Chains A and B, each alone.
Chain A
Amino acid sequence: MKDEVKIILDICDKILLKNVDHHLRLSLEPNSTQFKTLKDEIISSELTKLLVKEDLGGAGMTLNDIIPIVQLSAQYGTPIPFIETIISNFLLSELNIKPENDFITLTNKTENIIIKKDKISGNFKSIPYLNLAEKILVETEIKNQKYIILFQKGGKLKLQKNFLSEPKFDLDAAELEIISMKEKPEQIDVQNLLINVRSIQSFGAMEKILKLCIEYCSQRKQFGRTLSKFQMIQNHISEIALEVAASGASLSTLKNNNKNFYNLKSTAIPKIRTGIASGKVIALSHQVHGAMGFTKEYELSYFTKALNSWRNEFGNEIYWQNILGKLFLNQNKNLWEFLNH
């Protein structure tokens, strides 16, 4: 890990350690002091500009550099559009647009888009943390051309019924003010980028779940022994650890080149592997925790709900297995060539 990444990771760790706890997750309101404090610290530390080019006032880091930061944020269960803002500012920077000093959220699920005189109207779906962001960045297609558009939040927010960890909203917008709009560069694939962010977050959340399982089982006693001394429990936890380790290793597909964040094969492999792992980790971790894990007050469920939400986004792992299978079959290579290419 580069020294500058270690420094940023340390700064990020201190801010999240100080501000994020399960109470914040359960009672997060846009006007709460706790939220405002956290937001101020994150914005003022410039953490949301890590991926912004230096000449636009950012840190000039690469997508690969921020993998451990996305991972850390997920380990903390950070319930704000922190990573969404980092990615939004990155996309703006790729368009040579200056970053925003505010929380931005983003989506690529849009319908009925109309642009008229610097105003945008349309339907926007599955926008995470829209309640806590001021601006929205979307990727949308207009007359066979993809655009990236940043606009001011407004209109009616509809909270989706989802897995409840991470609030997602639909928005029916009428004539909201466009802040910037540019054609999307061909090399950028926003959906694959967002999927890869979710794979990294899923890995971070699973690491946290493993930690919770170890801590809980090392304290809780039944039949006169801590749960950790029961071989069946050890078996469950070692299986969780195995899935966590495999998820982390699957992210290797992204690591040699930042362009891999847009590449279909490099995206599919961790999407599938973390999706499979998530299913197992959710089931086993709840089994290990017993009834305690099923309560709202105990933090396990925050992370398992997040995993359930993420693994179902952008097509679940089974959908992606089919994409990866076809990607291979259509290339007319033998499997070993495909794996090594």
Chain B
Amino acid sequence: MTYFNFPHIEEDDNLKNLRNDVKSFLKTTFNSNNIKPQADAWMYSANPEFSKKLGEKGWLGMSFPKKYGGREKTMLERYVITEELLVAGAPVAAHWIADRQSGSQIIRYGTEKQKKEIIPKISSGECFFAIGMSEPDSGSDLASVKTFAKKTADGWELTGRKIWSTGAHLSHYMIVLARTEKLDEKNRHSGLSQFLVNLKLLGVEINPIEDMTHQKHFNETVFNNVKLNKDALLGEEGMGWQQVVGELALERSGPERFLSHYILLDNFISEFRYKMSEMGITSLGKIISELQTLRMMSFSIAWMIQEKKSPDVQAAFVKEAGNVFEKKLIETIREMSNLIPFEEWSSSLKSLFQDATLRIPANSLRGGTSEIMRGIISKQLGLR
């Protein structure tokens, strides 16, 4: 009767050693390059030089085949590195999407030419990607996208606009989900295709959108009759929906869904370890239990992906449980500080707390809203 299995996966000595290697690297690199840890760094903190250093260490494109410049390492090794980067608040935003999902899509669906051209650059930390899914009128209802790719004698002509494309202004490519056939209301998921779009092409316009924290990390990306070669098609024509569903599992299941604001928790504990009330300690115990559980779920999914299983629903669990956890984290820190007035906090801790408080509303929106995650779970349970 087990509905959703998260097999227990043990972290072996090899992975433990890898953790230590990453920690030492980060300590040295942060010191020598004057890098300051940031919360939500995978969204807000881009540093192409740092991404290149990770590439040189062999810690990007880890699971990709060596013949395309990958490392042929396991998803569990990648997971461990990802966790360490997140808890350190490392500036990973530039390469994040390319390494997390775009590269895997190209490995899975791309042509030889696409793989040979792009994967080595992702692995060396020199090629960045943005996501081309949402549109002004297509948010949660992704199948309703209107961006259209018309077949031409030379390839395709792309017209439309994508929105909320994080890091597009720093990126080299975007994987765009577009209609290649008119919408069939009876079969809304058909007639969609994915395209590898070079963002330097004529007709591509990237307009920044300022978020409520006054940061400009996401964008509107407009495609004005952009001419694409035939080989810009990623995967099979008409199979875009099936392809994008797999990509979303990669997007939703990672530890960034619950470790985005870990450095706030860590800094709070460092500062007030000996000043917490009994209530504060009790709240801390709760957060430890929930965080460790989420880590076990996400680690288990990394293993499932490695084993070529399709943990789409499990990914929705991690995404939704991670969102709930991070929202609660702010409240938990407030409970933990019930005897420590805000005025007594260091300015750096205050800043982390304020950033987290302002940014948290985005957690349950980006990568699919909570309502969509619950819809996926309901569907799997046979309720829809």
Q: Tell whether, in the assembled complex, residue A334 and residue B289 are in contact, meaning their CB atoms are under 8 Å apart.
A: no
- What is the CA–CA distance of A245 and B321 in the complex, to the nearest angstrom? 10
With both beta carbons as reference points, the residue of chain B lying nearest to A226 in the complex is identified as B383
A226-255: contact bitstring with B at CB < 8 Å (1 yes, 0 no)? 001100011101110110111011101101
A272 to B290, CA, bound (A): 8
Chain B 316-359 per-residue mask, 1 if CB under 8 angstroms from chain A, else 0: 01001100000000000000000000000000000000000000
Q: Which residues of B contact A256 (CB under 8 A)?
A: 8, 10
Q: Which among B3, B270, B285 is the interface contact of A245 at CB below 8 angstroms?
A: B3
Are B286 and A276 in touch, CB under 8 angstroms? yes
Q: Is the CB of A250 within 8 A of B293?
A: yes
- Neighbouring B residues of A210 by C-beta, 8 Å: 3, 381
* A241, B316: Cα distance in complex, Å: 11
- Would A339 and B288 count as touching, CB distance under 8 A? yes
Total interface residues on A, CB under 8 Å, equals 51
A207 within 8 Å of B by Cβ? Answer: yes
Contact A335 B6 (CB under 8 A): no
- B290:A252 contact, CB within 8 angstroms: no
- Chain B 261-286 interface 0/1 with A at a Cβ cutoff of 8 Å (1 = within): 01001100110010010101111111
In the assembled complex, the CB of B42 is this many whole angstroms from the nearest CB of chain A, namely 17
Q: Are A75 and B1 in contact (CB under 8 A)?
A: yes
Q: Closest B-chain residue to A340, C-beta based? A: B19
Query: B216: CB under 8 A from chain A?
Result: no
A235–B378 alpha-carbon span in the complex (Å): 8
Q: Does B300 contact A (CB under 8 A)?
A: yes
Given contacts A248-B6, A318-B282, A325-B285, contact A253 B383 (CB under 8 A): no
Task: Return chain A residues, CB-CB under 8 Å to B321.
Answer: 242, 245-246
Q: What are the residues of chain B within 8 A of A218 when measuring CB–CB?
A: 382-383
Smallest beta-carbon distance A23→chain B, Å: 21
Query: A211 interface residue, CB < 8 Å from B?
Result: yes
Chain A: minimal CB distance from B90 (Å): 14
Given A241-B3, A245-B6, A214 contacting B381 (CB threshold 8 A): yes
Chain A residue, CB-CB nearest to B314 = A245
For chain B residues 1-60, which have a beta carbon within 8 Å of chain A? 1-6, 8, 10-11, 16, 19
Q: How many residues of B contact A (CB 8 A)?
A: 52
Chain A minimum-CB-distance residue to B6: A249
Quote the shortest CB–CB distance from A14 to chain B (angstroms). 15
Is B269 a contact partner of A335 (Cβ separation < 8 A)? Answer: yes
CA distance A210 to B4 in the complex (A): 11
A273 at the interface (CB under 8 A from B): yes
Say if the beta carbon of A5 comes within 8 Å of chain B: no
Q: How far is the CB of B384 from chain A (nearest CB, A)?
A: 7
Q: Is the CB of A238 within 8 A of B290?
A: no
B291 within 8 A of A: yes
Task: Say how far B30's CB is from chain A's closest CB, in angstroms.
Answer: 15
Task: Say what secondary structure dominates the interface of chain B.
Answer: helix
List A141-182 residues whose CB lies under 8 Å from chain B.
none
**Is there contact, CB below 8 Å, between A250 and B19?**
no
Distance of A281 Cα from B4 Cα, bound (Å) = 16
Q: What are the residues of chain B within 8 A of A255 when measuring CB–CB?
A: 8, 10
Task: Check: B297 CB closer than 8 A to any chain A CB.
Answer: yes
Set of chain A residues within 8 Å of B107, measured between Cβ atoms:
none
B293 touches A273 (CB 8 A): yes
Task: Determine if A11 is an interface residue (Cβ-Cβ < 8 Å).
Answer: no
Q: Is B92 an interface residue (CB 8 A)?
A: no
Residues of chain B within 8 A of A317, CB atoms compared: 286
Is A273 in contact with B289, judged by CB distance below 8 angstroms? yes
Cross-chain contact A228 with B383 (CB below 8 angstroms):
yes
Complex interface: chain B residues within 8 A of A238 (CB): 373-375, 377-378, 381
Query: Residue B87 at the A interface, CB < 8 A?
Result: yes
Nearest CB in chain B to that of A339: its residue: B292
Q: Give the B-binding residues of A (Cβ under 8 A).
A: 75, 207-208, 210-211, 214, 217-218, 228-229, 233-235, 237-239, 241-242, 244-246, 248-250, 252-253, 255-256, 268-270, 272-273, 276, 317-318, 320-326, 328-329, 334-336, 338-340
Chain A to chain B: the 6 pairs with minimum beta-carbon distance, closest first: A321-B285, A325-B285, A324-B285, A325-B281, A272-B289, A234-B378
- Offer 24 A-B interface pairs, CB within 8 angstroms, sorted by A: A217-B383, A229-B383, A235-B378, A237-B378, A237-B383, A238-B373, A238-B381, A241-B381, A244-B4, A245-B6, A246-B317, A249-B293, A249-B296, A252-B296, A253-B292, A253-B296, A269-B288, A273-B289, A317-B286, A321-B285, A335-B265, A339-B291, A339-B292, A340-B16
Q: Which residues of B contact A (CB under 8 A)?
A: 1-6, 8, 10-11, 16, 19, 87, 262, 265-266, 269-270, 273, 276, 278, 280-286, 288-297, 300, 314, 317, 320-321, 371, 373-375, 377-378, 381-384
Sample of 15 more A-B contacts, CB < 8 Å, known A242-B377, A336-B87, A339-B295? A207-B1, A214-B383, A218-B383, A228-B383, A238-B381, A246-B317, A252-B8, A255-B8, A272-B290, A321-B286, A322-B282, A324-B288, A325-B284, A325-B285, A335-B269
